[in-house]
Amino acid sequence: MSKATLDRGVQILKEQIDAPTASFFSSCVNCGMCADACLFYTETGDPAYTPINKLEPMRRLWEQEYTLVGRVKKLVGLSRPVTDDDLGEWSEQVYHACSLCGRCSMVCPVGNDISYMIRKIREGISAAGHAPEGLVGATTRAVEIGSPMGITMHALNTQARNITESSGLEIPFDQEGVDYLVLLSSMEVINFPEYLEAIAKIFKQAGKSWTISSEAFEATNSGIQIGTSDIARELVSRVVEAAEKLKVKTVVSPECGHAYTAIRWDGPNLMGRRFPFKVKHIIEVLDELREEGLLKIEGIEESCMTFHDPCQLVRKGGVIEQPRNLLNMIATNFVEMEDSGKMNWCCGAGGGVSAIEEAEEIRLKAFNRKKSQLEKLQVDTLVTACANCRIQLEEGLEVNEMDVPVVGLTEMLADHLVED
Amino acid sequence: MNSAEFLLWVRGPGLNIALAIFLIGMLIRLLEIFMLGRKQNLAELRANGVSAGLRTIFSRSTPADKNSMRHSMFTFIAGYGFHIGLFVVIFLLTPHIQLIQSLLGFGWPALPTPVVDLFTVIALISLMALLWRRLTHPVVRYLSTPQDYLVWAATFVPLLTGYMSYHHLWFPYSWLLGMHILSVEFLLIIFPFTKLTHAFTLFISRWYTGMMAGEKGVAS
Amino acid sequence: MSNNKPLGQALREQGVSRRGFLKFCATTASLMALPPSMVPAIAKALESARRPSVIWLSFQECTGCTESLTRSHAPTLEGLIFDNISLDYHHTLQAASGEAAEAAREAAMEENKGKYLLVVDGSIPLGNPGYSTIAGISNLEMLEEVAEHAAAIIAVGTCAAYGGLPHANPNPTGAVSVEEIIKDKPIVNVPGCPPIPVVITGVLAHFLTFGKLPELDHLGRPLSFYGNNIHDRCYRRPFYDKGLFANTFDDEGAKKGWCLYKLGCKGPVTYNACATIKWNDGTSFPIEAGHGCLGCSEPNFWDMGGFYNALSESTMDLSKSAAVGIAAGAAAGAASGLLNRRKKSQAAAAHETVTVKDLTREEPS
């Protein structure tokens, strides 16, 4: 029996409002500059997609519950309470038209972190039962099966076996005391199996021990995307327990955006305790290996290439230089897009957007921003480090009939490893 | 009530009331914000966050990058025209510095009044441009509430009446000065209950955003 | 004592030539902002003016107004005109005293019923009649009695016009102005502490010429003398406009004659003729002497925030309300903040773990 009600959603929103949130709502002057930074607005022209507008129900709740003027307004009947219809209506803006990319937070002149608050309003909307169907399905599969796309260990084992057969590389499962516990995103497992082979190859050359846990291989945290901390906690605890059980030094998040955010930044706060292990993105690991001289690379990529910065890795993860360091090892014709690095434009599919079928139209419209970035450059290859970005980029390029192959960075590096 | 009595009232009881309400309201708002607290960040921090927080308080006054400024050029120019003009008018005009000095015990040198007059005009024109934008631009019009327009008027009238006072425009000076002071009192009274609080809370929000970003080692 | 000799005859007897007399009329016309074509009318009226009876009542005053008007360095035309008004009652100037003086007053009132001019200086105490009496009669009683059959009233000096110094905070005598008591007679306020001499003679000349009082502003003052504020006619105005202010009475700026705004000049809100007509026959006026205008022709000028505090400063001490505001704000803010915390922790306590089953709404809320 579902316990989803409006009241539940409202109570959870009340829990979510903290001092930063209150200061943000107090400071917003309705200048609209956040809209100029949001690709869902710039590519549709619909003012409803203005980032701060996506938070309106929560702002009203904050005013009514946590300010004197709001309480007085309530007393004299001048305030509109947050209704079930509000939460239902806002679901589209919050889930279809926001990827939590954080670009709005970079430009707000009064210093509001709007994406921080979008994450919070998702808590309330999901608890009230108004999260999009696609995300609910993905989350349910993640909790019940172990993967949002329904991948089981059986499928993973098969893939591992195939890799071992074709390349001779071992895919170690459940090894204790190793350097790295590797997580995989279902998106990679299904669409980009080359990734697993690539890291096997790289770690072997670098002499690093690693493993996958059969109890917790999934990196993608659907709980974070749907915005339900209770579920996010459940999902991340699986990884943490596995990591502690296997006594690993470092948990490695794969080429996926929100997976990194989930375990690196949200994980300890969800669990309420610090982790006894380190958390790194695969790109961070590879760059460390490069620094230590453990990556033996040969050959060059001559094609004109650029890098699409996954939002959660770059703007929100702080991993900006590392992919460029790695690319510089092999690329001779690397060019930067205008607005790259910390101000890069989102691919349009992050934060759960790609799991929502009804969001397909707006997602592809949002891609037009990336399209105009690429058209200015005229590159031959587009490199990135997130499987979700990759799918969106490939689909967007195809729809727009642009012939630019998209390559994963790890995969490209592995292709250039010196063969023993 | 004649203009002499009116002027005496706004210079006396009026100021007292407005100042008291302003202080009470702002303190309530600030404590309402701070006492909600923020959960401690248990993730492995890349940095302490304090220096990033402090830095962001200042760096947010400049655009994130060149293209962001281009995208929001109108708001930047008009916004800064207004804010800089307002700052100069409030803090660098002799009569205002006299008032502040009588309250705080210290003052500072003023700019020549005609220079401040120029900044007043810049501020007034910027405000009118911003109003035009609020009425015509789809995003800003969509976001706007009646409060946005009230606050605009409450900010415009003091600047306008101040300008009129200095230039002795159209009405007897006593009325102009009285209206100017009264309009400032109105602004002070509505201040803590409207988005005008941003004048103070923006330091808090910039601080939090900068700190949370600094802990992750990301730019803000 | 009344004298019915026409004014023109009286002047000639005193050696004033026709030419001199006409010159005076022209000066009066221009002072009153009347056109030159009015001069013959003024001359004719003054020529044949029967010296009206004037009763001058002095209440809570310092006699400064009388000093200003009658103390002149040499006999002037103004002085002569004054001599040629039948001044039937004036404490300082009359020869009689005691019962004889009061009898003279009553006789003048009876003889000129409905036609005499009442001039008042000083404020009237309402707190206790005993604060100021004349021959045992309270100021209030005497004012009402004399005003009843007066043709018009001229309130000379800020005390009579607006209450003046006695009226200043905390007004211990309950002092009020003439117009607060008399509501049914034409009243001209000629304020100033004291007023400029030619201002009163100008008003009188107007009354003699036209039989009625001149055009007044919203505070009852003759527009021709009180129509501009000091600031608009001040010779130091260019310094104000440029933002050059004296900071102390003997600094460089003061020596250069810069604007006295910061030293408390109330010129911008003061309406008087000091900046144009000036004092002592056009010698100087306070600002020219280096001291800010006190605003002495304005109501409540004693309570305008201090003679040496600028117009932009408050008239009251704001530190008390600031302290109250901060204390009350801190207390109320703490209370509101605690309410917030409680509400938030209540919400947290009521939190039931959300599972995947709870992500879909099964029934209407």
Strand pairing category for C53-58 and C86-89? parallel
Nearest to B43 among A35, A106, A268 (CB): A268
Q: Residue C74 — very low, low, confident or very high, per pLDDT cuts 50/70/90?
A: very low
In DSSP terms, A173 is beta-bridged to A212
**Mean pLDDT score of chain A:** 93
Q: Residue C79 — very low, low, confident or very high, per pLDDT cuts 50/70/90?
A: low
Using CB atoms within 10 Å of the CB of residue C203, give its burial: 0 to 12 exposed, 13 to 18 middle, 19+ buried.
buried
Enumerate the H helices of C211-318 as residue ranges.
Answer: 223-226, 230-233, 237-242, 252-255
Closest by CA to B195, choosing from B29, B17, B32, B27, is: B29
Report the alpha-carbon distance of residue A297 to residue A302 in Å, rounded: 15
Query: B193 — contact with chain A (CB < 8 Å)?
Result: yes
The proportion of chain C whose per-residue pLDDT surpasses 70, expressed as a percent, equals 93
Side chain identity, residue C168:
A
Structure tokens at A133: 């169907």
Confidence (pLDDT) at C201: 74
A4:C344 CB<8 A: no
Cβ density class A225-255: b for 16+ within 10 Å, e for less: bbbbbbbbbbbbebbbebbeebebebbbbbb
Nearest to B24 among C243, C311, C332 (CB): C332
Within 8 A of A269 by CB-CB distance, chain B residues are: 39, 41-43
Confidence (pLDDT) at C18: 84
Q: Which of C237, C271, C313 to mutate to test the interface with B (most CBs of B within 10 A)?
A: C313
Task: Give the angle A182-A183-A185 at the CA atoms, nearest 5°.
Answer: 145
Query: B29 — contact with chain C (CB < 8 Å)?
Result: yes
pLDDT at residue C51 tops 80: no
Nearest to B143 among A17, A32, A343 (CB): A32
Residues in chain A: 420
Please state, as a whole number, how many other Cβ atoms lie within 10 Å of the Cβ of residue A83. 13
pLDDT at residue C11 tops 80: no
Query: A234 — contact with chain B (CB < 8 Å)?
Result: no
Enumerate the H helices of chain B as residue ranges.
Answer: 3-9, 15-34, 50-59, 66-71, 73-91, 94-104, 113-136, 138-143, 146-167, 173-190, 198-216
Query: C351 — contact with chain A (CB < 8 Å)?
Result: yes
Query: B36 — contact with chain C (CB < 8 Å)?
Result: yes
The proportion of chain B whose per-residue pLDDT surpasses 70, expressed as a percent, equals 100
Query: A24 — contact with chain B (CB < 8 Å)?
Result: yes
Which residue did the predictor score with more confidence, B5 or C271? Answer: C271
Whose tokens are 């810049």? That residue is B122
Confidence (pLDDT) at C78: 54
Confidence (pLDDT) at C1: 40
**How far B104 CA sits from the closest chain C CA (Å)?**
9
Confidence (pLDDT) at C174: 95
Average of per-residue pLDDT across A59-70: 95
Rounded to the nearest 10 degrees, the angle between the axes of helix C319-349 and helix B15-34 is 30
Query: A265 — contact with chain B (CB < 8 Å)?
Result: yes
What is each CA distance from B109 to B25, B92, B95, C249, C312, in whole angstroms?
A: 31, 7, 11, 18, 16
Are the CB atoms for C122 and C60 separated by under 8 Å? yes
Structure tokens at C108: 């003048």
Query: What are the tens digits of pLDDT across the range C114-145?
Result: 888 899 999 999 999 889 999 889 999 999 99
Chain A and chain B share a number of CB contacts under 8 A equal to 178
A2:C357 CB<8 A: yes
Residues of chain B numbered 85-114 and touching chain A (CB < 8 Å): none
Within 8 A of C325 by CB-CB distance, chain B residues are: 19-24, 27
Residues in chain C: 365
Are the CB atoms for C257 and C239 separated by under 8 Å? yes
Report the alpha-carbon distance of residue A408 to residue A391 in Å, rounded: 11
Strand pairing category for C116-121 and C150-156? parallel
Chains that touch C (3 or more CB pairs under 8 A): A, B
Whose tokens are 């008018």? That residue is B89
C310:B31 CB<8 A: no
Residues of chain A numbered 51-110 and touching chain B (CB < 8 Å): 52-53, 66-69, 105-110
Q: Which of C247, C262, C303, C312 to mutate to test the interface with B (most CBs of B within 10 A)?
A: C312
Query: B34 — contact with chain C (CB < 8 Å)?
Result: yes
Within 8 A of C341 by CB-CB distance, chain B residues are: 35-37
Report the alpha-carbon distance of residue A43 to residue A36 in Å, rounded: 10
Average of per-residue pLDDT across C98-112: 89
Query: B12 — contact with chain C (CB < 8 Å)?
Result: yes
Side chain identity, residue B195:
K
Confidence (pLDDT) at C72: 43
Query: What are the tens digits of pLDDT across the range A149-177?
Result: 999 999 999 999 999 999 999 999 999 99
Q: Residue C73 — very low, low, confident or very high, per pLDDT cuts 50/70/90?
A: very low
Within 8 A of A226 by CB-CB distance, chain C residues are: 359
In DSSP terms, C50 is beta-bridged to C6
Residues of chain A numbered 350-409 and touching chain B (CB < 8 Å): none
Within 8 A of B207 by CB-CB distance, chain A residues are: 111
The proportion of chain A whose per-residue pLDDT surpasses 90, expressed as a percent, equals 89
Query: What are the tens digits of pLDDT across the range A16-54?
Result: 999 999 999 999 999 999 999 999 999 999 999 999 999
**How far C328 CA sits from the closest chain A CA (Å)?**
14
Average of per-residue pLDDT across C266-292: 92
Q: Residue A391 — very low, low, confident or very high, per pLDDT cuts 50/70/90?
A: very high
Structure tokens at C28: 């009066």
Report the alpha-carbon distance of residue C48 to residue A67 in Å, rounded: 79
Within 8 A of A133 by CB-CB distance, chain C residues are: 360
Q: Residue A3 — very low, low, confident or very high, per pLDDT cuts 50/70/90?
A: confident
Confidence (pLDDT) at A420: 66
Average of per-residue pLDDT across B197-203: 96
Q: Residue C364 — very low, low, confident or very high, per pLDDT cuts 50/70/90?
A: low
Report the alpha-carbon distance of residue A250 to residue A244 in Å, rounded: 10
A27:B139 CB<8 A: no
Query: C353 — contact with chain A (CB < 8 Å)?
Result: yes
Report the alpha-carbon distance of residue C342 to residue A66 in Å, rounded: 10
Average of per-residue pLDDT across B66-95: 94
Report the alpha-carbon distance of residue A285 to residue A251 in Å, rounded: 10
Confidence (pLDDT) at C82: 60
Confidence (pLDDT) at C274: 94
Q: Residue C71 — very low, low, confident or very high, per pLDDT cuts 50/70/90?
A: low
ipTM over 0.90: yes
Report the alpha-carbon distance of residue A156 to residue A186 in Å, rounded: 10
Are the CB atoms for B172 and C268 separated by under 8 Å? no
Residues of chain B numbered 41-80 and touching chain A (CB < 8 Å): 41-44, 46, 56-57, 60-61, 63-65, 67-68, 71-72, 75, 79
pLDDT at residue C2 tops 50: no
Report the alpha-carbon distance of residue B151 to residue B194 in Å, rounded: 8
Rounded to the nearest 10 degrees, the angle between the axes of helix C197-210 and helix C39-47 is 80
Nearest to A27 among B67, B202, B219 (CB): B202
What is each CA distance from C85 to A408, B74, C114, in whole angstroms?
A: 111, 73, 17
**How far A225 CA sits from the closest chain B CA (Å)?**
19
Q: What is the CA radius of gyration of chain C?
A: 30
Q: Which of A21, A66, A71, A84 to mutate to test the interface with C (most CBs of C within 10 A)?
A: A66
Confidence (pLDDT) at C76: 54
B142:A48 CB<8 A: yes
- Max Cα distance, chain B (Å): 68
Within 8 A of A231 by CB-CB distance, chain C residues are: 354-356
Query: C289 — contact with chain A (CB < 8 Å)?
Result: no
Confidence (pLDDT) at C40: 85
CA dihedral C187, C193, C194, C199 (to 10 degrees): -50
CA dihedral A120, A124, A129, A135 (to 10 degrees): 0
Are the CB atoms for A362 and A399 separated by under 8 Å? no
Chains that touch B (3 or more CB pairs under 8 A): A, C
Are the CB atoms for B5 and C298 separated by under 8 Å? no
Strand pairing category for C116-121 and C133-134? unpaired
The proportion of chain A whose per-residue pLDDT surpasses 70, expressed as a percent, equals 100
pLDDT at residue C208 tops 80: no
B20:C218 CB<8 A: no
Closest by CA to A219, choosing from A183, A248, A194, is: A183
CA dihedral B86, A36, A308, A249 (to 10 degrees): 60
The dihedral through the CA atoms of B63, B69, B72, B74 has a sign that is positive
Structure tokens at B107: 């003052």
Nearest to C321 among B19, B34, B96 (CB): B19
Query: What are the tens digits of pLDDT across the range B154-195?
Result: 999 999 999 999 998 999 888 999 999 999 999 999 999 999
**What is the reported pTM?**
0.89
